[in-house]
């Protein structure tokens, strides 16, 4: 490689155009889904409305939303074999990372999906809806296994956000908890060409199946430089709490030591948002 080629080399695809999308736009001050600003969607839409918008390209009419909600409700519970395997992992591999368990659950679900190898646009949309509807039950089965409890069947009377909380706790969530979860799901529903989306698109571009692409995306999202960063930040906060509670060390001294040791401090800064993530402000409000 010549010196000129080396100079032109861009690590990590930074600054490179890898594709075009009309689904989402991200900049320093705005996050836009299909032309709608995220703050407006978080304040005035439900997660189901946003999911329809992202999948279909337009906001649903009242009839379209009702049919979409009914469709998702009918597909909430995965095959019993999938739930049983995920629940059992909590006993046989209690230290397994939840994202790894989710990846396994999605892979298992693929073996029971009659359209798994059908890559037509129509089949891909149907499979996307099935995964969207059934993932809360997978998450709930694993968490309840860790808690020493049996899985609960999904509740078709609840919204998607409320059903997720129900699958986790086995208790009907209140209005505030449901709203917080609903807004959180909206805020995290789409984020342009992030690492997990790019991973999924690369896999899909090889004409592989949708479940494989989603498994790859989940694997990327798990990383502590991507979706796992919030988990790493919580771990760091626990370390600070434990170290300062059991000694004379102050939080300021802990931070000074971390800087001196050139540790990576999780939860500070964002790959895209240099002036703060405005989604955090929506959650605070």
pLDDT tens digits, 187-207: 999 988 888 999 999 999 999
State how far Cα 247 lies from the chain centre.
Answer: 37
Mean pLDDT, the chain, rounded, equals 90
pLDDT, tens digit, 9 for 90 and up, residues 155-184 = 999 999 999 999 999 999 999 999 999 999
Distance between CA atoms of residues 110 and 76, nearest Å: 15
Secondary structure class of 124 (helix, strand, coil): helix
Helices (H) and strands (E) counted in the chain, each on its own, are: 14, 3
CB atoms within 10 A of CB 227: 19
* CATH 1.10.580.10 for domain 72-222: yes
What residues contact residue 37 under an 8 Å CB cut-off, 6+ apart?
30, 31
Q: According to the model, what pLDDT value does residue 276 have?
A: 63
Query: Which conformational region is residue 12 in: left (phi greater than 0), alpha (psi within -120 to 50 degrees), or beta?
Result: left
Distance between CA atoms of residues 282 and 38, nearest Å: 9
Distance between CA atoms of residues 70 and 79, nearest Å: 19
Distance between CA atoms of residues 18 and 194, nearest Å: 11
- The answer to whether 30 touches 39, Cβ cutoff 8 Å, is no
Query: Does pLDDT of 227 surpass 50?
Result: yes
Percent of the chain with pLDDT over 90: 65
Q: What's the pTM value of the predicted model, to 2 decimals?
A: 0.85
Which 8-state DSSP code applies to residue 272? Answer: S
User: Rg (Cα) of the chain, in Å, rounded?
Assistant: 21
What residues contact residue 241 under an 8 Å CB cut-off, 6+ apart?
none
Backbone angles phi and psi of 31, in degrees to 5: -125, 120
State how far Cα 257 lies from the chain centre.
Answer: 33
Higher pLDDT pick, 269 / 65? 65
State how far Cα 267 lies from the chain centre.
Answer: 17
Domain spans of the chain, in order of start: 72-222, 229-284
């Amino acid at each position: 490689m010549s010196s000129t080629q080396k100079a032109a080399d861009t690590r990590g695809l930074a600054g490179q155009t890898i594709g075009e999308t009309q689904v989402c736009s991200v900049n320093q001050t705005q996050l836009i889904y299909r032309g709608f600003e995220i703050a407006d969607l978080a304040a005035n839409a439900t997660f189901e409305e946003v999911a329809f918008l992202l999948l279909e390209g337009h906001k649903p009419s009242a009839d379209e939303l009702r049919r979409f909600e009914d469709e998702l409700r009918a597909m909430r519970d995965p095959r019993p074999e999938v739930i049983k395997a995920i629940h059992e992992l909590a006993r046989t591999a209690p230290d397994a990372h939840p994202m790894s368990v989710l990846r396994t659950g999605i892979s298992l679900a693929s073996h029971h999906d009659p359209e798994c190898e059908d890559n037509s646009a129509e089949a891909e949309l149907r499979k996307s809806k099935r995964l969207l509807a059934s993932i809360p039950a997978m998450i709930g089965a694993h968490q309840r296994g860790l808690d020493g409890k049996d899985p609960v069947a999904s509740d078709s009377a609840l919204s998607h956000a409320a059903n997720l909380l129900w699958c986790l706790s086995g208790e009907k969530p209140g209005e505030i908890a449901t709203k917080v979860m609903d807004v959180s799901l909206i805020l995290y529903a789409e984020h342009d060409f992030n690492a997990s989306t790019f991973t999924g698109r690369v896999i899909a571009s090889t004409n592989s199946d949708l479940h494989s692409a989603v498994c790859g995306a989940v694997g990327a999202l798990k990383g502590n430089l991507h979706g796992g960063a919030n988990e790493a930040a919580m771990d760091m906060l626990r370390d600070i709490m434990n170290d300062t509670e059991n000694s004379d060390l102050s939080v300021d001294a802990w931070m000074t030591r971390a800087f001196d040791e050139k540790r990576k401090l999780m939860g500070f800064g964002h790959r895209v948002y240099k002036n703060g993530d405005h989604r955090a402000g929506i959650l605070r409000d």
